[in-house]
């Protein structure tokens, strides 16, 4: 039997991060399998209602440290270490995202705990948890067990789905935590500043990847329109970046970025391995290419052999309609 504590990150307006909610949902599921309880920890000025509402996702209890600032890891390490130790909690679970890594790592040191990162799945066995994570460019999955408790599990982005399973509201318990001397040595000057320029394609849920099959630079507009309709971003192959059709910051592949979005829509991309290694972990791969022998058709989830110039505009319209309606 093991209790699981999940860190729930929120923004300055009190909205909880999707990955945190996913982690709570996952914790609830696992807790029921281990016979323990799932709880959440929040810091900063979180209203009673907002905290209790985490019960919707399966948290039976929410620990709240009002005096602890949100957004920087080390004060939260102090909070979680105390909660874990005081309550004999077996595992700390984090949804994908930078803070999860920093807090999880700090807890590793503080509690002398084992940590697994980039976790894609967690399973329960004999009241204990085993974390699964991909290695070697996703060519193998390792099962990692914990020698002692507590164990720290840091999920990959989008690894845990949000599920409203809970009975209703969670019990909110306020905790007072003395912050470590060094936890107050970092101060947030500006938090979460949006900058117009390059969308970080590594964080996008949906990507439309454009390749040479687009034909010319101007045709990237087709990709942009399609991405827009899906609420995603545009990525590119080495060949088109080489040709100057799209910026290097969007290049995916062996010498570019590695991404694992929920949907990768490859248009006019042959699927050479130099590109494949950068996007093969995408949850869903849809390919449109006029060459039926293109390698991409060997590893996509849905492939359309056809003229992207004909298909893409119609697809964009259809998606807009579907969403609007």
Partner 1 sequence: MGVAPGQFPPPFDPGAHVGSPTDPEDERLEAGIVIVGGGPAGLACANRVMQLLEGEPELTERLGEIPVAVLEKGKVCGAHNLSGANMVPSAMEKLFPDLDPGEWPVYQQVEKDAVYLLTKSRAIPLKPPPPNFRNHGNYVTSIAKLSRFLAERAEEAGAYLLTETVADKLLIEDRIVRGVRSGDKGRGKDGGQLGNFEPGSDLMAKATVLAEGTLGHLTDCAVDYYDLAGDAKRWEIGVKEVWEVPKPLDRVIHTMNWPLRKSSKYNEFGGSFIYPMGEDKLCIGIVAGLDTTDATFSCHDLLQQLKTHPFIRDLLDGGKRVGWGAKTIPSGGYWSMPRKLAVPGMVMCGDNVSMVNVPYLKGIHLAMHAGMYAAEAIVESLKADPESVDFSAYEAKVRGSEIEKDLYRSRNVRQYGDKGFVAFGAIANAWLLSGGALPPGHKESEPDAEVPVHLGPAADDYPEPDNELTFDKLGSVFLSGNATRDDAPNHVRIQTHVPREVAQTWVSMCPAQVYEIPEDQLDNGAAEVDVHVTASNCVQCGAINAKGGRLTMPEGGDGPLYQEV
Partner 2 sequence: MKICCLVKEVPDAAVQKRLDPATKRLDRSGEKTLNQFDTHGIEAAMQIREGGAVEVDEIVAVTMGPDSAQRALHKAVALGADRSVHLSDDALAGSDVCATGYALAKVLESESPDLVLLGQQSDDGECYTIGAVVADHLKMPSLTQVIEMDVAGEKLRCERQAEYGYDTVEIQLPAVISVGDAINEPRYPSLKAIMGAKKKPLDSKATGDVGIESDKVGEAGSQTQVLAINPPPEKQAGEVFEDEDTNETVEKIVAWLDERKLI
Nearer Cβ to partner 1 (24/277): 277
Give the shortest CB-245-to-partner 1 separation in angstroms.
Answer: 14
Q: Is 85 in the site for partner 2 (CB under 8 A)?
A: no
What length does the chain have?
Answer: 325
Smallest gap from residue 255 Cβ to partner 1 (A) = 5
Alpha-carbon span 318 to 312, nearest angstrom: 10
Among residues 67, 272, 304, 319, the one that binds partner 1 under rule CB under 8 A: 272
Span from 53-61, 130-138, 215-223, 239-247 in contact with partner 2 (CB under 8 A): 130-138
Six-digit token string for 91: 């595992």
108 touches 91 (CB < 8 A): no
Interaction mask 192-231, partner 1, x per CB under 8 A: --------------------x-------------------
Question: CA separation (Å) from 210 to 179, 216, 220, 236, 300?
Answer: 49, 11, 7, 5, 15
Tokens standing for 121? 């799945």
The SS3 call for residue 89 is coil
Contact between residue 267 and residue 219 where contact means Cβ atoms under 8 Å apart: no
Token digits for 318? 């259809």
Selected from 109, 137, 188, 248, the binder of partner 1 by CB under 8 A is 248
Which of 14, 44, 134, 295 is the binder for partner 1 (CB under 8 A)? 295
CB of 287 to partner 1, least distance (A): 16
Residues touching partner 2: how many (CB under 8 A)? 88
User: Nearer Cβ to partner 1, position 127 or 215?
Assistant: 215
23 binds, among partner 1, partner 2, none (CB under 5 to 8 A by kind): none
Q: How far apart are CA 212 and CA 272, in angstroms?
A: 12
Nearest Cα to 106, choosing from 92, 118, 119, 120?
92
Interface with partner 2 includes 304 (CB under 8 A)?
Answer: yes
Binding to partner 1 by residue 281, rule CB under 8 A?
A: no
Number of chain residues interacting with partner 1 (CB under 8 A): 15
Told to check if 293 binds partner 2 by CB under 8 A, we report no
Could you tell me which residues are beta bridge partners of residue 162?
A: none
Which of 253, 247, 261, 158 is CA-nearest to residue 202? 261
Q: Is 238 in the site for partner 1 (CB under 8 A)?
A: yes
In sequence order, what are the beta bridge partners of 16?
10
Which of 48, 49, 86, 143 is in the footprint of partner 2 by CB under 8 A? 143
Q: Which does 295 bind (CB under 5 to 8 A by kind): partner 2, partner 1, none?
A: partner 1
Binds partner 1 by CB under 8 A, chosen from 15, 85, 184, 255 = 255
If one asks whether residue 133 binds partner 1 (CB under 8 A), the answer comes out as no
Q: Which does 238 bind (CB under 5 to 8 A by kind): partner 1, partner 2, none?
A: partner 1
Per CB under 8 A, 179 contacts partner 2: no
Q: Name the CA radius of gyration of the chain, rounded.
A: 22
Q: Which of residues 8-37 bind partner 2 (CB under 8 A)?
A: 9, 11, 17, 19
Report 196-215 residues binding partner 2 (CB under 8 A). Answer: 200, 206
Provide long-range contacts, Cβ within 8 A and 24+ apart, for 245-254. Answer: 245/210, 245/214, 245/216, 245/217, 245/220, 246/210, 246/217, 246/220, 247/198, 249/198, 249/201, 250/198, 250/201, 252/201, 252/207, 252/209, 252/278, 252/279, 253/277, 253/278, 253/279, 254/278
Residue 243 contacts partner 2 per CB under 8 A: no
- By CB under 8 A, name the binding residues for partner 1: 212, 238, 241-242, 248, 251, 254-255, 272-274, 277, 293, 295, 298
């Amino acid at each position: 039997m093991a209790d699981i504590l999940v860190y729930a990150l929120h923004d300055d307006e009190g909205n909880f991060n999707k990955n945190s909610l996913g982690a709570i949902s996952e914790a609830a599921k696992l807790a029921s399998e281990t016979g323990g309880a799932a709880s959440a920890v929040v810091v900063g000025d979180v209203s009673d209602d907002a905290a209790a509402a985490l019960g919707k996702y399966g948290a039976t209890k929410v620990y709240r440290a009002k005096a602890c600032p949100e957004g920087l890891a080390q004060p939260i390490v102090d909070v979680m270490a105390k909660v874990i130790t005081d309550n004999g909690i077996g595992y700390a679970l984090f949804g994908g995202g930078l803070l999860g890594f920093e807090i999880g790592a700090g807890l590793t040191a503080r509690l002398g705990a084992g940590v697994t990162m980039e976790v894609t799945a967690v399973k329960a066995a004999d009241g204990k948890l085993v974390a699964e994570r991909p290695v070697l460019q996703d060519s193998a999955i390792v099962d990692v067990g914990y020698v002692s408790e507590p164990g720290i599990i840091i999920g990959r982005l989008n690894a845990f789905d949000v599920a409203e399973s809970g009975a209703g509201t969670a019990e909110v318990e306020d905790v007072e935590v003395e912050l470590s001397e060094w936890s107050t040595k970092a101060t947030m000057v500006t938090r979460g500043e949006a900058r117009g320029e390059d969308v970080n394609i590594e964080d996008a849920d949906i990507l439309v990847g454009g390749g040479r099959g687009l034909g010319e630079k101007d045709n990237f507009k087709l990709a942009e329109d399609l991405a827009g309709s899906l609420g995603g971003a545009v990525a590119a192959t080495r060949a088109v970046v080489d040709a100057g059709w799209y910026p290097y910051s969007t290049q995916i592949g062996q010498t570019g970025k590695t991404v694992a979005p929920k949907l990768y829509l490859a248009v006019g991309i042959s699927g050479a391995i130099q590109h494949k290694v950068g996007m093969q972990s995408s949850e869903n791969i849809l390919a449109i290419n006029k060459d039926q022998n293109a390698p991409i058709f060997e590893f996509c989830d849905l492939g359309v052999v056809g003229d992207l110039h004909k298909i893409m505009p119609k697809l964009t319209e259809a998606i807009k309609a579907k969403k609007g309606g």
